[in-house]
Amino acid sequence: MIRAPFTLAAALAIAAPALAEIPPEHTVAVGTAETVTAGEHMVVAAHPLAAEAGEVILEAGGSAADAAVAVQLVLGLVEPQSSGLGGGGFLLYWDAAGAELTAHDARETAPMAAAPDYWLEDGEPLGFWEAVIGGRSVGVPGTPKLLEHIHARHGRLPWAVLFEDAVTLAEDGFEVTERMAESVADARELDRQDAARDYFLPDGDPLAEGARLANPAYADTLRLMREQGAAPFYSGAIARDIVATVRADDRRGLLTMADFAAYEVIERAPVCIGYRGDEVCGMGPPSSGGLTVGQMLGILERFDLPAIGQGMLAEHLFAEAGALAFADRDLYMADSDFVSMPEGLLDDDYLRARARLIDAEAAMGGAEPGTPPWREAAARHADDPRPRAGTTHFVIRDGRGDIVSATTTIEMGFGSRLMTNGFLLNNELTDFAFAPAGADGLVANRVEPGKRPRSSMAPTIVLRDGAPNLAIGSPGGANIIPYVARALIGILDWDMPLHEAVARPHLLNRNGPSFVEEGPGAAQMAAELESMGHAVEVSDLNSGLHAIRITPDGLEGAADPRREGVALGR
């Protein structure tokens, strides 16, 4: 059953817009937002073929973990610019039988040969494009081991069954969508390596919308993975191919087989904060997503948003909360296995004090980081957030009540532009700070051997009375954090229909200018924010919010109309 459609144009006309200077990708073919309902199970993913693959697994009695494997394998084929076996990610899992929420870290790692000066040349940081494209930007992928890891813990169906749709599509081909074709046409340096050029630019021209595209090399990789699990990616032929590809590139990387052999998925405690009676839970370090979303919500809880409603005051408060939270993020947050993290970033008294810095009538014009309760006194220098292209998010709820909320990525769209065995390699190491230190001290997110770069990925599960009420997340680089926080406020504070919450025009502030999403109403929103002292930029903010809400009447799902995702369920 489907509720009445809600167009993005209508949303833009009603509410406040917002976007950022380096969008994850440009919005193409804006679709219609709708809330899909189901009684037993549901998948919301960034491509119809991926959602269908997950739905097939759920119909066969598979768990949310089983469906996650099938969904990700298909996404790596049909949405290769965003995620795949050459990347990593973060996954939250709700085990209904044990009433337990766990967080799984499959973030890529730096080579053991990497040093803090990894991104310096003659003492100066490399230029953006010199760094992000090529072998030096590639970290050890985590996605293959994540899929094996989550299936081993929560799978119900045989491993081999989960590969059927992806193998068939890779062999027989699939239709190139407008979004994929536009992404290929817009990408820089896709022709720098033979494998990527031959696949994405056949006969020298970008893939065209509607073209039939097969990937026999990916099919071979899937068959090997179906038979041997993730081992070939970490100690076998595929790992050797990745190392050779990275080290042969003219922007040579330092990865070795020892780096791959040492890689592990880490099960971590989720980061949770109370918000108006619910528990909002996400990923902790090395992702900054859960903590920064949590800080924004913890600051905003000091204001009665349900009573304030959806007006300019609420928009101003949201932007100011973002500035305060990003000030802390950029100074303190990084891989906590390598650097000390303040224990009090979500402390109630600390967030109350941060909220008192907000003037309801005027922008603060830039926030300073706070001093949360913690023991370390070492000087630190802030790292700047860098929006990137790429990344995907999917949510799944199976018939027994297990839930997956997963964000996976190869970093910028098309990653490093290096391809092997039918999949692209990430450029995740550019999520580290380019300069390891500044005038104030060391940067927490500096490169170190074996370290995981800071992420903004924010897969989220909201618990109400001890059970899941909502699963949500988005791609979007550093913008993921305000995308998710804004949707949460729409749902939890204003009880917005799910499709309206994910289609709602974006406004965000990463402790700089406030970005307003271009579209109807953007000019008026920008003018009103400017009258309150905000520096405003109107931009194309391309999120990919996907959500499932669990209600007394069943399941609701919605996909962000800015991309091509769908919600499927029964």
Domain range annotation of the chain: 6-268+385-569
Region 269-293: mean pLDDT is 98
Peptide bond before 286: cis, by omega within 30 degrees of 0?
A: yes
* Per-residue pLDDT at 208 exceeds 60: yes
> Letter for the amino acid at 128?
F
Give the DSSP H/E element, type plus range, for residue 257. Answer: helix 257-261
Rounded to 5 degrees, φ, ψ at 301 are -65, -20
Region 257-266: mean pLDDT is 98
Rounded Cα distance between 148 and 235, Å, is 15
Mean pLDDT of the chain: 92
Region 429-449: mean pLDDT is 94
Residue 383: pLDDT band with limits 50, 70, 90? confident
* Per-residue pLDDT at 13 exceeds 60: no
Q: In this predicted model, what pLDDT tens digit does every residue of 27-38 receive, in sequence order?
A: 655 567 799 999
Give the DSSP H/E element, type plus range, for residue 487. Answer: helix 480-492
Sign of the alpha-carbon dihedral angle for 431, 435, 440, 441: positive
Region 490-508: mean pLDDT is 97
Residue that is written with structure tokens 């839930």 in the block: 403
State pTM to two decimals: 0.94
Q: In this predicted model, what pLDDT tens digit does every residue of 169-191 receive, in sequence order?
A: 999 999 999 999 999 999 999 99
The two three-digit tokens of residue 468, written as one number: 């899941």
Yes or no: say if 426 and 139 are a contact pair by the CB < 8 Å rule. Answer: yes
Q: In this predicted model, what pLDDT tens digit does every residue of 39-96 receive, in sequence order?
A: 999 999 999 999 999 999 999 999 999 999 999 999 999 999 999 999 999 999 999 9
Region 260-274: mean pLDDT is 98
Region 305-316: mean pLDDT is 96
The two three-digit tokens of residue 305, written as one number: 């948003």
Question: pLDDT at position 440, please?
Answer: 86
Burial code (b: 16+ CB inside 10 Å, e: under 16) for 497-533 equals: bbbbbbbbbbbbbbbbbbbbbbbebbeebbebbeebe
Assign 153 to helix, strand or coil: helix
Q: In this predicted model, what pLDDT tens digit does every residue of 106-144 receive, in sequence order?
A: 999 999 999 999 999 999 999 988 999 999 999 999 999
Catalytic residues: 391
CATH 3.40.640.10 fits 6-268+385-569, yes or no: no
Q: In this predicted model, what pLDDT tens digit does every residue of 347-359 receive, in sequence order?
A: 999 999 999 999 9
Rounded Cα distance between 394 and 406, Å, is 6
* Per-residue pLDDT at 10 exceeds 90: no
Yes or no: say if 432 and 152 are a contact pair by the CB < 8 Å rule. Answer: no
Residue 422: pLDDT band with limits 50, 70, 90? very high
Assign 532 to helix, strand or coil: coil
> 165-179, 261-275, 377-391: lowest mean pLDDT where?
377-391
Using the 8-state DSSP alphabet, how is residue 562 labeled? T
Assign 444 to helix, strand or coil: coil
Question: pLDDT at position 374, please?
Answer: 84
Comparing C-alpha atoms, which of 42, 11, 138 is closest to residue 549?
42
Residue 387: pLDDT band with limits 50, 70, 90? low
